[in-house]
Amino acid sequence: MRKVIVGNHAISLGVKLARCEVISAYPITPQTQVVEMLSEMCASGDLDARFIKVESEHSAMAACVGASAAGVRAFTATSSHGLLYMHEMLHWAGGGRLPIVMANVNRALGPGWNIWVDQNDSLSQRDTGWVQLYCETNQEVLDTTIQAFRLAETVDVPVMINLDAFYLSHTSEPVDIPEQALVDGFLPRREAHLKLDTAAPHAFGALVRPDDYMEMRWDQQAAMARAGEVLLELDAEWERLTGRSYGAVELYQADEADLLLVTSGTITSTARDVIDHRRAAGERIGLVKVRMFRPFPTESVRAAVRGARRVAVLDRNISPGHGGIFAEEIRSALYDVPLDDRPELFGYVLGLGGRDVTPSVIDGIIDQTRAASAPAREDLWVGVKP
């Protein structure tokens, strides 16, 4: 069935199709429609789930931790400071290897408080042991929500779905909504192999001494690596079922491109349009969309940029004192590519706090990248007023 829906409702419908069993959340703009719709579904009985309406995001994630440890499918949604308030429990979910799924609407952080799009909320949670996926369209949001539960439960790692504030969360787009039977076949009921069980009592999360701690983190690292492989497998299966797939990294118009833009989130759609125009004019330019940020798709990124002379990374985020975070990660991924094969990397910080990234902004970046004699020592800030 095809419906015109906002990104927030694409999340809610995905959670319903996934037959999530426990939901716990606290409201924050621009996430609220996600939990409003889920509240309606739980109240009407359309979704047979318990919705725990908690007093904070810390408790929202804590309740998901408890539910997931008891063996059921658990979900929450948040944004911005709500995500930051969860930080401690994000580590508990990641380290505890609990397959919780969360939607995070990417929103800027205060002070100078701001409700518009910016990726610093989720990227500052980089090291909490969560898979991070960034979406471009509402269709991708819905499909990713369903995929996320399957991915999380296959590798016992929590998954964070990120969507841009307003550009996705509150923008209506046509979305193909899969049949329940299709989703049921793709995502069976969760049967945890280890859980809180009075018939087989175990202690979870106890003090672990130096003799064993590293092995637990090693297992977590291995599970993260596996998550990258499993995402591609289940994405291929999803394509067979629905005709849609997204991969970890997507190439667009990349054949023979000497300049590649690297984007994530909705900037990608704008960039596609710019590239279409320039390709039509004969320019060899393409795009690499990074959908999966953790685990970082190092091999896919290296393969994607092979052959390009220059790469321009567009970062709607900033690590103060360093630079754009995707650019940092991509530099790191390319470090040991031999110099002759390694494209020059240009980092651009732009669009923070919802500053509009228009086609002309991207055109300017492309022109600047082509005209430069060499990359600047630091990432360049785009459009900062004097």
Partner 1 sequence: MSQVMIRDQVPQRELLDSGHLACPGCGAPLAMRLVLKELGEKTVVVLPACCWSIIAGPFPQSSLHVPLYHTAFGSAAAVASGIRAALDIRGDTETTVIAWAGDGGTFDIGLQALSGAAERNENILYVCYDNEAYMNTGIQRSSATPWGAWTTTTPATQPQGSRKKDILAIMAAHRIPYAATASPSYPTDLLAKVRRARETRGTRFLHILSPCPPGWKHGDDLTIELGRMAVRSRVFPLMEVVNGVDWSFTVDHPGDPIGPYIRAQGRFRHLDDDAIGRIQEDIDARWDFLCRQVR
| Contacts with 81 (C-beta within 8 Å, 6 or more apart), sequence order | 28, 109, 110, 121
Residue pair 274/366 in contact (Cβ under 8 Å)? The answer is yes
Nearest-5° Cα angle at 211, 210 to 212: 90
How big is the site for partner 1, counted in residues (CB under 8 A)?
42
Q: Per CB under 8 A, does 301 bind partner 1?
A: no
Residues 74-133 that bind partner 1 (CB under 8 A): 74, 88-89, 92
Please, is 367 exposed, middle or buried when counting C-beta atoms within 10 Å of its C-beta (0-12, 13-18, 19+)? exposed
Q: Which of 11, 25, 62, 141 binds partner 1 (CB under 8 A)?
A: 62
* Span near partner 1 by CB under 8 A; candidates 193-201, 246-254, 287-295, 339-347: 193-201
The token pair at 374 is 């060499």
Q: Per CB under 8 A, does 63 bind partner 1?
A: yes
The token pair at 271 is 């960039």
Of 129 and 295, nearer to partner 1 (C-beta) is 129
* Span near partner 1 by CB under 8 A; candidates 8-16, 59-67, 219-227, 334-342: 59-67
Of 57 and 329, nearer to partner 1 (C-beta) is 57
Q: Per CB under 8 A, does 53 bind partner 1?
A: yes
DSSP 8-state secondary structure symbol assigned to residue 115: -
Residue pair 83/113 in contact (Cβ under 8 Å)? The answer is no
Q: Per CB under 8 A, does 205 bind partner 1?
A: yes
Tokens 């716990």 identify what position?
Answer: 24
Least distance (Å) from partner 1 to the CB of residue 65? 6
Q: Which of 181, 203, 339, 371 binds partner 1 (CB under 8 A)?
A: 203
Distance CA 133, CA 294 (A): 7
Of 54 and 241, nearer to partner 1 (C-beta) is 54
Of 43 and 384, nearer to partner 1 (C-beta) is 43
DSSP 8-state secondary structure symbol assigned to residue 177: P
What is the length of the chain?
386
User: Which phi and psi (to 5°) does residue 158 adopt?
Assistant: -75, 155
Least distance (Å) from partner 1 to the CB of residue 47? 11
Least distance (Å) from partner 1 to the CB of residue 25? 12
Residues at the contact surface with partner 1, assessed by CB under 8 A = 21-22, 24, 48-50, 52-56, 58-60, 62-72, 74, 88-89, 92, 196-198, 201-209, 212
